[in-house]
Amino acid sequence: MGGPGLFVSDPEFVSDNQVITSNFNAEYGRNSGSVVNVVTRSGTNTVHGSVYGTESNSALNALSNTNKAFEGLTKPARFNDEFTGGTIGGPLWTDHIFFFGGFDNEIVSQQQLYASGLESGASQTPTPAGIATMVGCYGNTASLQALTKYGPYGIGGGNPTPQGPSTVDLPAFTFTPDGASTATSYAACPGVQIGRCNDNSPRDPSLTTFQSNWIFNGKEPLLWRFIYNKSSFYNTDAFLTAASGYPTSVPALSQAWRVSWVRTISNRMSNEFSASYGR
């Protein structure tokens, strides 16, 4: 598997890991540095399986120094990580056809505080009170309507609140719209409140993985494998927008098929043909 486009997220799916750092065989001739093979499990003549799960949450967590000093939280943000799965493998025809399959699902429910300007220390925005002051100075212009509806405080799901507000005096200015022949003059607008926007929005990533292996084991064994990953990350900061009040959802889907056919030519030589497809 070349890179993180598809990954085996469940150790119960893995038979062993192989790390090759030198003396590559011919099938690895294109690569340099190192090669990591994740060998998935196969069925045997004995039926075997597992059911498992883990749970972690924020019930016993304490506030960090950052939470106390900069984020104004009085209790830890919600975090709950639930991981469950199961596998089963065995024979369909003893010594000839084997199967192995697995499924897991991870659901993470959390709230994470994002504040505009925490990354750069400089980005601040007019608060709702500041916007109201600007409307009194300039009227309810299209720009101020857009800032009210689509700005950091326009998304109410995370209960956005001002952090460290201060006031600034906006100077008088003259503005000429594109294509206009006359300019409009505006008087100074004192006492406009600005500050960072704290957004405590829910972030709920989830991950689903499925794997299926089949081995048709005769004189010339044939292996079929299918791996399926589906991820859904809700209200993330993947594009550094949530810190400005614009969370984004990032879905992802990856799949991989592989067919391998091994033929024994003699007691000293064998040949393997494999074909794989990933998306």
68 and 131 belong to one structural domain: no
pLDDT digits (tens, 9 = 90+) for 224-233: 989 888 888 7
Q: Is residue 254 part of a domain?
A: yes
Domain that holds residue 225: 11-112+204-278
Domain stop point among 166, 200, 234: 200
Domain stop point among 152, 174, 200: 200
193 and 208 belong to one structural domain: no
Return the closest-CA partner of residue 249 out of 200, 279, 207, 204: 204
**135 alpha carbon, distance to own chain's centre:** 39
φ, ψ of residue 133 to 5 degrees: the values are: -65, -40
221 and 91 belong to one structural domain: yes
218 and 195 belong to one structural domain: no
16 and 103 belong to one structural domain: yes
Alpha carbon distances (Å) from 244 to 69, 122, 154: 20, 12, 11
pTM of the model: 0.64
Q: Is residue 102 part of a domain?
A: yes
| Euclidean distance between CA atoms 142 and 144, whole angstroms | 6
| Euclidean distance between CA atoms 64 and 77, whole angstroms | 11
Beta bridge partners of 185: 174
40 and 132 belong to one structural domain: no
168 and 218 belong to one structural domain: no
108 and 239 belong to one structural domain: yes
Residues of the chain with pLDDT under 70: 1-5, 29-32, 70-71, 112-123, 155-158, 199-206, 237-247
Q: Is residue 120 part of a domain?
A: no
Return the closest-CA partner of residue 89 out of 26, 46, 145: 46
Domain stop point among 200, 225, 240: 200
Q: Is residue 2 part of a domain?
A: no
190 and 132 belong to one structural domain: yes
Q: Which two tokens stand for residue 194?
A: 């600005």
106 and 155 belong to one structural domain: no
| Euclidean distance between CA atoms 159 and 61, whole angstroms | 22
Q: Is residue 117 part of a domain?
A: no
pLDDT digits (tens, 9 = 90+) for 192-251: 998 877 766 666 666 777 888 888 877 788 889 898 888 887 777 655 555 555 667 778
Structural domain tally of the chain?
2
Q: Is residue 263 part of a domain?
A: yes
